[in-house]
Amino acid sequence: MRKLAAGNWKMNGGPSALAEVAALKARIGAPKVEVVLCPPATLLAPLAAAAGPALGLGGQDCHPEASGAFTGDISAPLLQAAGAAYVILGHSERRAGHGESDSLIAAKGAAALAAGLRVILCLGESEAERMGGQTLARVGAQLAASLPAGATPENYVIAYEPIWAIGTGRTPSLEEIAEVHAFLRQSLLARWGAGASACRLLYGGSVKPGNAAAIFALPHVDGALVGGASLKADDFAPIIEALAAA
Ligand code: PGA
């Protein structure tokens, strides 16, 4: 399987965005791993023109409908037309800030697949769930309820992102990450059979140049979903290099 480093720019990407992408491109050359940037939707088309073959693009959310009267939303076909090959779905900032349920996330996933996009599906526990020993139950329930019928190991990527590790500089221990990733692999094997070993499992939450290599050395960690550290080429490039070396 080809490992994946995905950058989630969230609501960032000002006038320096194109310069950062040019710097990243120059730094990583033709990477051994897949690299995908998920900028705000307004930047997809300009980045598609600048990114070149080494950098893929993704959106950060999509509506379950393909078109219609949904002010402020963006559809999967519009993302695809702007240059996206992926879309992030179920990020905790959307689950919490926009009240997204697992069933809505599954409906969005079906829309993404219908538009020919691949999905990066985010799952993760809160700090209270972690403290209460409910992590595996939580991510297991999210996984079961937010995969649409058409999901396959090839068109879905699963990102384990503990909510309390996002943007905080805190991460689970390596043992805790390994435990969740092994659990996710087992769950996917139960759903899809042996083919599930081809599904990429990403870790996300405060991935930095300093901790990336240790995380990438863990079994069933096939890449990362990177927020803050994906905004600057100087931070994202060493993470991509660590993944290529893992
Ligand atoms: P972070 O965000 O790397 O800034 O913690 C990760 C994410 O939200 O995907």
Known catalytic residue at 91:
yes
Return the pLDDT at 123.
Answer: 98
Given this model, what pLDDT does residue 214 score? 98
The pLDDT score that the predictor gives to residue 228 is 97
Give dist(CA 184, CA 159) in Å, integer.
10
Question: Is residue 205 in contact with ligand 1, taking CB distance under 6 Å?
Answer: yes
Residue minimizing CA distance to atom 3 of ligand 1: 227
pLDDT, position 15:
86
CA 227 – ligand 1 centroid, Å:
3
Please tell me the distance from the alpha carbon of residue 34 to that of residue 223, in angstroms, as a whole number. Answer: 9
pLDDT computed for residue 90 by the predictor: 98
Q: Which residue has the tokens 């991935």?
A: 207
Please indicate whether residue 129 is annotated as part of the active site: no
Rounded Cα distance, 186 and 180, in Å: 10
Which of 36, 206, 235, 239 maximizes ligand 1 atoms within 8 Å of its Cβ, making it the mutation to test the pocket? 206
The protein residue whose alpha carbon is closest to atom 1 in ligand 1 is: 227
Positive or negative torsion for Cα 102, 5, 82, 149: negative
pLDDT at res. 51: 85
* Minimum-distance ligand 1 atom for the alpha carbon of 207: 3
Give the position, in ligand 1's atom list, of the atom nearest the Cα of 169. Answer: 5
Two tokens, residue 206:
């405060």
Look at residue 180 in the predicted model and tell me its pLDDT: 98
Q: Is 137 helix (H, G, I), strand (E, B) or coil?
A: helix
Which of the residues in the chain have pLDDT under 50? none
Closest to 117 in 3D by CA, of 125, 126, 108: 108
Host H or E run for residue 18: helix 17-28
**Closest CA to ligand 1's atom 2:** 227
**Which helix (H) or strand (E) is 79 found in, with range?**
helix 76-81
Single out the residue of 91, 83, 87 nearest to residue 21, CA to CA.
Answer: 83
HSE (side-chain half, CA atoms, 13 Å) at 65: 6
Distance 137 CA to ligand 1 centre (A): 22
The minimum-distance atom of ligand 1 relative to the CA of 226 is 3
Residue 245: alpha-carbon gap to chain centroid: 20
